[in-house]
Amino acid sequence: MNEQLLKKVKRIEIATRKVMDDFVSGGYKSHFKGQGVQFSEHRTYTPGDDVRHIDWKVSARNREPLIKKYEEERELNVFIVADLSASQDFGSKKQTKKELVAELGAMIAFAASTSGDKVGVLFVTNKVKKTIELKKGKNHVLRIIRDLLSFKTEGGGTALKQALEEARRVLKHSGIVFILSDFHSDGYESALRQLSKKHDVVAVKINDPMEGKIPPTGKVTLFDPESNREIEIEPGKFSFQRLLNEKQQLFDQKTKQIFTLAGVETLPVSTHEDYADSLVQFLKKRKKKR
């Protein structure tokens, strides 16, 4: 890693330590349903046991009823879907949406690693670009963080549907999926519902308060990095400003409905806010609900 990247990693590591009580040291595990159970061994059936747990095939071979014994899994699978499409290059204050995605993803990876959990990442732009498999270990997490911080955004839209389908294919066992995206994509609703049936999914909605807002002025030529198209507008017109507001409201309503129908919780994070604090407050609210 170069010196600039090392400084960012150190800063993110410090931010992660600040939320130790709420996120690290296993505390966050109780906030999610991702923790499952795995088969441990067979034991002899005793009156009062749940007959649904009898292993009939093994019982037939051994000529006595045997129960499947399970134990709670001691680790979680934490998977991050990082949207690094061109729309994430926008930023009106101290950082861009892309930087927010990278740093928040790095913090989640640090936290999962510190807690002894496996962590993996999927990078998506106009297609699924790269998948880093679920693993544990410091070197693995440092690779994830390096790739998150140095990844270059790409235009041409956001293949969120394909990314969620790939995440579902990669995750063999139940886990926690953090989707870090502005959700400017179409047709991902079904894939999101399917993913949330097995996994605990958190839609981390990345936003910038100034995105979609244009000061009233004369004619302006805008460039859309997602579609690589230019368009000439007149933001001084009242009708145009009203159209902007209506478009933003419709987008917010649509995404809220999509998340609700999929049974997915939303964590809105702004480029103007402290992402560590936003995550902590989200976990506290979740804990109270449960």
For residues 182 and 66, membership in a common domain is answered with no
For residues 115 and 156, membership in a common domain is answered with yes
Q: Residues with Cβ < 8 Å from 237, sequence gap 6 or more?
A: none
Domain span holding position 21? 3-29+74-209+262-279
Q: Residues with Cβ < 8 Å from 53, sequence gap 6 or more?
A: 67, 68
For residues 146 and 168, membership in a common domain is answered with yes
For residues 51 and 120, membership in a common domain is answered with no
17-20 contact pairs (CB < 8 A, 24+): 18/276, 19/111, 19/276, 19/279, 19/280
For residues 173 and 124, membership in a common domain is answered with yes
Residue that terminates a domain, selected from 17, 48, 72: 72
DSSP codes, 207-224: E-TTTT---S-S-EEEEE
For residues 88 and 173, membership in a common domain is answered with yes
Q: Residues with Cβ < 8 Å from 87, sequence gap 6 or more?
A: 97, 158, 182, 184, 225, 226
* Number of other CB atoms surrounding residue 22 within 10 Å: 19
Residue type, 98: K
For residues 188 and 168, membership in a common domain is answered with yes
Tens-level pLDDT at each residue, the chain (290 residues): 677 777 777 777 777 766 655 555 445 565 565 455 555 578 888 887 777 778 888 889 888 888 876 544 557 899 999 999 998 988 887 789 999 999 899 988 888 887 788 999 999 999 999 999 999 988 999 899 899 988 998 888 899 999 999 999 999 888 899 999 999 999 999 999 999 999 999 999 999 887 766 666 667 676 666 677 777 766 666 676 677 778 888 999 999 999 999 999 999 999 998 888 888 788 777 766 65
**Beta strand 118-124 with 77-83: parallel, antiparallel or unpaired?**
parallel
* Number of other CB atoms surrounding residue 170 within 10 Å: 15
In angstroms, the CA 176 to CA 23 distance is 13
For residues 113 and 194, membership in a common domain is answered with yes
pLDDT at residue 257, rounded to an integer: 97
Residue 249 lies inside a defined structural domain of this protein: no
pLDDT at residue 290, rounded to an integer: 54
Residue 288 lies inside a defined structural domain of this protein: no
Is the separation of the CB atoms in 105 and 80 below 8 Å? yes
Residue 284 lies inside a defined structural domain of this protein: no
Q: C-alpha angle 230/231/234, rounded to 5°?
A: 145
For residues 59 and 173, membership in a common domain is answered with no
Q: Which of 260, 201, 262 is nearest to 78 (CA)?
A: 201
The residues that bridge with 120 in the sheet, in sequence order, are 79
Scan for tokens 């649509």, then name that residue: 254
Residue 214 lies inside a defined structural domain of this protein: no
For residues 53 and 129, membership in a common domain is answered with no
Is the separation of the CB atoms in 202 and 180 below 8 Å? no
Structural domains of the chain, count: 2
pLDDT at residue 26, rounded to an integer: 45
Q: Which of 131, 120, 200, 189 is nearest to 160 (CA)?
A: 189
Burial level of 186, CB count in 10 A (0-12/13-18/19+)?
Answer: exposed
pLDDT at residue 25, rounded to an integer: 45
For residues 9 and 137, membership in a common domain is answered with yes
For residues 68 and 78, membership in a common domain is answered with no
CATH number at residue 171: 3.40.50.410
